[in-house]
Structure 1
């Protein structure tokens, strides 16, 4: 009977030792935001608008 009580006490003590988890903690990587530094980024929208207008005029 004493061995049963001792085994139960050791089991309870061992289970609280791993209360958190044995798995490694998940650490999220920091988010890095890079801004576009292309010289043509400002000219792209007007050029596309010009192409659309030219296509509309050519279709008439």
Structure 2
């Protein structure tokens, strides 16, 4: 009877260890942040306004 209880306990312990199996690790893709610099956009607008004012003043 003791052998039967021991076999039952070992079989339960062995099956629970492999219940989930091996799964492939899931890697999340790396987040790449693109750096955009629009410093030219801040300079172009005032220069165009200055040209428009200069053209209007010359008339």
Q: Is TM more than 0.5 here?
A: no
Give the TM-score taking structure 2 as reference length: 0.38
More helix by share: 2
